[in-house]
Amino acid sequence: MSIVLEAPPAAVTEYAKAPLALLIDGQWREGSSGRTRDVLDPTTGEVLAAVPTADRSDVDAAIAAAARAFPRWRDLPVDERTRILMKAAAIMRERADAIARIATIEEGKTFAEMRGEVLRCAKALEWDAQDAKRAYGRIIPIDNDTELTVRHEPVGPVGALVPWNFPVGSPNRKIAGAISAGCSLVLKASDETPATAVALVACYQDAGLPDGVLNLVFGHSAEIAEQFVRDERIRLIAFTGSIPNGKDLAAKAGAEMKPMILELGGHAPVIVCEDADPKLAARRTAAAKYANAGQVCTSPSRILVHRSIYREFLDELVKASAEVKVGFGLDEGVTMGPLANERRLVAMERLVADAVARGARVEIGGKRIGTRGYFFEPTVLSDVPLDADIMREEPFGPVAPVVAFDDLEEALAIANALPYGLAAYGFTEKAATADRLIRGLEAGILSINHCGGSVPEAPSGGVKQSGIGREGGQEGLEAYLVVKRVSHKLR
């Protein structure tokens, strides 16, 4: 693998021009307390900027703004709402390069990945905005003097909390779905990628979104989440994050009978069957594994390969890993950037050490790169025992553990043994085996013969402890709507 670790000074200078502020009721402003948090450069570990943090009064002001704006936005004709949102999507496309550069600097993902993320978000917004026109109800025949209808209406102001790993995609999923459905929103974006969130929200503001419909805050996630739960003006909470945090939030929201959309962690199995093409499977698995340095909830992270093709698959996976070019994400040809923070770096070192201590072999990688920033080598571990930590907890990094199996039922049992159920992948050339994988794998997102990601047209979400509800597709819009039955006596 080739390595380039220095971020050009011009890039950091460019980032310094990105404004950092809260957006409350259409006004960009500092936090009331004056408190800030440092934003660190994952390429160097040095401070990039300081993001203002919201205190309780700021969050209350944002909620109040969303509550005031909701009736006006809800009652605006859907064609007018769609016109504004389609303009926001067009602005997003125009600014794709600029947003991607900001996001690459503060999150670490390569420019090509980030630009693709921005463009997918524009497409998703267009889909949601147009799909809102088809949020139909229905008329139910009952008798001659009663009109019985079912109506779908926006749930109300939404409180949303998102992580750092998809700094455009995660917040935009919440914004596009909620606002297209006719809701208003208070977004708590990650303090680690704030300039990206500001640049994204600015696209909506500059498109003419009415004041208060979309509000942006930064600060302590647990405190803001608690405020969302307790405030009766917030009618639904949308959260993307870890399983422990999601379960804690769900328990608190449940006590208030407040609905939630939860996209939580995953530990996606890959089952490579004996009739699969091992080299093709290895290449496609590697491409997904090292996207965003493995910091993806749906990243393939438990790779189960039939023993008859195990060595051939492993050799090709090692070869693909060796071809990864690690470096600063804005540099030409770089295919994997740094991890986003020191927490992930420490976790990778711990997981690799544990696996090796239990008998796994390091086929390639396994170490931190350099002493500046948060770079880690693309890593393949072979013959990993099932009781290794990396086989039981989500790695969220560029480490691929590979295990051999002899029987498909055995592989399915291993794949389904954990409480995770977000994504799963299978490789086979036989239709009957593909059907067995489809029926047997317990996951909300399943791909056969590839490791595809989310698309705007279809729902994404998990089963078991990986989440509740769906984002994307018709189901994603429906998550922000409530059903009202109306019985109207005509005479």
> What amino acid positions are annotated as catalytic residues?
263, 297
Q: How far apart are alpha carbons 468 and 246 in whole angstroms?
A: 10
Side-chain-side CA neighbours of 185 within 13 Å: the count stands at 28
| Residue 100 φ/ψ, nearest 5 degrees | -65, -40
Q: How far apart are alpha carbons 257 and 467 in whole angstroms?
A: 17
Contacts of 37 (CB under 8 A, 6+ apart): 50, 51, 53, 191, 218
Query: Token pair 């205190």 is at which residue?
Result: 55
Spatial contact of 101 and 108, defined as CB atoms under 8 Å apart = no
Query: Token pair 């959309």 is at which residue?
Result: 261
Q: Exposed (0-12), middle (13-18) or buried (19+): which is 414, by Cβ within 10 Å?
A: middle
Q: How far apart are alpha carbons 4 and 372 in whole angstroms?
A: 12
Spatial contact of 55 and 197, defined as CB atoms under 8 Å apart = no
Burial code of 382-391, b = ≥16 C-beta within 10 A, e = fewer?
bbbeeebbbb
Query: Token pair 């401070």 is at which residue?
Result: 47
Spatial contact of 373 and 42, defined as CB atoms under 8 Å apart = yes
DSSP 24: E
Q: How far apart are alpha carbons 202 and 128 in whole angstroms?
A: 19
Spatial contact of 161 and 252, defined as CB atoms under 8 Å apart = no
**C-alpha closest to that of 170 among 259, 107, 258:** 107
Spatial contact of 132 and 179, defined as CB atoms under 8 Å apart = no
